[in-house]
């Protein structure tokens, strides 16, 4: 069983990548798309992100078996609500949002007559918009699916197989657990990057040109993350407020412990912490998640290098 008519609402990085990936890896399916922004619709048509870029969302979803919302987390309700009548009754509704509990609630409230199974491909870049998407984005990356209790098993299986066809490894999780895990592995690192880049450029005795000139080290990695889309990340933090604040509290305590170690000259504490984190990085690489390798993201590489 597979979806043969798929509609994508929002044709930026995620929507565009899904559209291109469907055409590449699921060529028998037909994909329609819609974006609120006319310029994005025009560019999406130029790049053939879908078979048909529609002038209205109603037209895009009219014959869909799967609708995927690929809009910023805060726009989900507004994008879904007007489509209650237009989405066919048997159609499965999903999304790709970076937080899950709030988005799942917004989608369920907006589309109470439909089966909704939220998802989150943990795959992206700092770029956004209709030029950012590419077909191989999901290859070898995780896609977390957060099915509601007692969901339609056939639809769930078909959604899992859909993401596997696009190259992802699928994991099922509760939305609450997803939000806690992603708060520490993705949301907090983005918050730290936004902070450190802002702090460096605010320093009065360090010029902007020095910040750029000497950013070859770790700081450069932070500037990539801190270039991520402001609308999306504002919405991520507001929609995953509780988990982010919980993790931020833990992080602040740990940072304070390191601050103290520096102040009192406790080299052993610093050395122990850095040894522990180095081992974590190395174990990630051994698991085949080495993002410094040029073939990172290729699932065949991931599988070959995974230790049994
Ligand atoms: N950027 C990333 O690396 C990742 C993003 N995500 C999630 O994917 C979703 C989309 O993010 P991106 O594709 O990166 O953003 P994007 O900014 O590239 O694309 C979002 C698109 O949605 C459109 N849009 C906004 N409101 C709309 C509405 N009411 N109806 C139709 N279109 C509307 C915008 O015009 C824009 O073209 C977000 O929920 C984000 O949390 C998930 C994984 C990774
Ligand atoms: O570009 C990066 O390093 C990312 O972390 C991309 C990303 C952004 C948001 C997500 O929900 C998942 C992945």
Mutation test residue for ligand 1: of 12, 41, 166, the one with most atoms within 8 Å of CB: 12
Mean pLDDT on 110-125: 98
In the predicted model, is pLDDT for residue 291 greater than 70?
no
Q: Which atom of ligand 2 is nearest to the CA of 121?
A: 12
> What value does the mean pLDDT of the chain take?
92
Spacing of C-alpha 66 from chain mean position: 19
Q: Break the chain down into helix, strand, coil percent, rounded to 5.
A: 55, 10, 35
> Residue 199: which pLDDT band, with cuts at 50, 70 and 90?
confident
In the predicted model, is pLDDT for residue 270 greater than 70?
yes
Ligand nearest to the CA of 224: 2
Instruction: Give the model's pLDDT for residue 204.
Output: 67
Q: Are 40 and 150 in contact (CB under 8 A)?
A: no
Name the residue among 99, 37, 35, 41 with its Cα closest to residue 70.
Answer: 35
State how far the alpha carbon of 250 is from the alpha carbons of 179, 245, 254, 262, in Å. Answer: 15, 9, 6, 19
- CB of 17 closer than 6 A to ligand 1? no
Q: Are 235 and 74 in contact (CB under 8 A)?
A: yes
- CB of 75 closer than 6 A to ligand 1? yes
Distance (angstroms) between ligand 1 centre and the Cα of 70 equals: 5
Ligand nearest to the CA of 38: 1
Q: What CA–CA distance (Å, rounded) separates 17 from 15?
A: 6
Ligand nearest to the CA of 236: 1
Among 14-23, 176-185, 219-228, 288-297, name the one with the lowest average pLDDT. Answer: 288-297
State how far the alpha carbon of 146 is from the alpha carbons of 2, 116, 124, 177, 254, in Å. Answer: 19, 10, 19, 9, 30
Q: What CA–CA distance (Å, rounded) separates 204 from 190?
A: 24
Distance (angstroms) between ligand 2 centre and the Cα of 51 equals: 27
Residues above pLDDT 70, as percent of the chain: 93
User: Would you list the DSSP string of 11-56?
Assistant: -SHHHHHHHHHHHHH-TTSEEEEE-SSHHHHHHHHHTTSSSEE-SS
Q: Are 289 and 302 in contact (CB under 8 A)?
A: yes
Mutation test residue for ligand 2: of 178, 186, 188, the one with most atoms within 8 Å of CB: 186
- CB of 50 closer than 6 A to ligand 1? no
Mean pLDDT on 196-209: 80
- CB of 60 closer than 6 A to ligand 1? no
């Amino acid at each position: 069983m597979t979806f043969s008519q798929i509609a994508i609402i929002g044709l930026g990085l995620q929507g565009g990548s899904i559209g291109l990936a469907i055409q590449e890896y699921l060529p028998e399916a037909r994909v329609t798309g819609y974006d609120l922004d006319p310029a994005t619709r025009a560019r999406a048509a130029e790049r053939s992100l879908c078979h048909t870029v529609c002038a209205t969302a109603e037209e895009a979803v009219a014959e869909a078996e799967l609708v995927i919302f690929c809009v910023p987390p805060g726009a989900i309700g507004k994008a879904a609500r007007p489509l209650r009548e237009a989405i066919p009754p048997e159609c499965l509704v999903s999304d790709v949002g970076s937080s899950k509990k709030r988005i799942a609630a917004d989608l369920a409230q907006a589309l109470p007559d439909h089966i909704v199974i939220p998802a989150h491909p943990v795959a992206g870049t700092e770029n956004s918009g209709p030029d950012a998407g590419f077909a191989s984005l999901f290859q070898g990356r995780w896609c977390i699916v957060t099915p509601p209790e007692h969901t339609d098993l056939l639809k769930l299986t078909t959604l899992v197989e859909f993401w596997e066809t696009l190259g992802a490894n699928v994991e099922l999780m509760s939305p609450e657990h997803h939000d806690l895990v992603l708060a520490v592995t993705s949301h907090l690192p983005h918050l730290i990057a936004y902070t450190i880049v802002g702090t460096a450029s605010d320093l009065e005795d360090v010029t902007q040109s020095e910040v750029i000139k000497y950013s070859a080290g770790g700081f450069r990695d932070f500037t990539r993350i801190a270039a991520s889309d402001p609308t999306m990340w504002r919405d991520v933090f507001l929609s995953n407020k509780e988990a982010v604040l919980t993790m931020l509290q833990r992080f602040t305590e740990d940072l304070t412990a390191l601050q103290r170690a520096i102040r009192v000259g406790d080299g052993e504490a610093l050395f122990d912490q850095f040894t522990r984190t180095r081992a974590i990085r190395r174990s990630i690489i051994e698991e085949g998640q080495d993002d410094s390798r040029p073939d990172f993201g290729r699932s065949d590489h991931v599988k070959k290098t995974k230790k049994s």
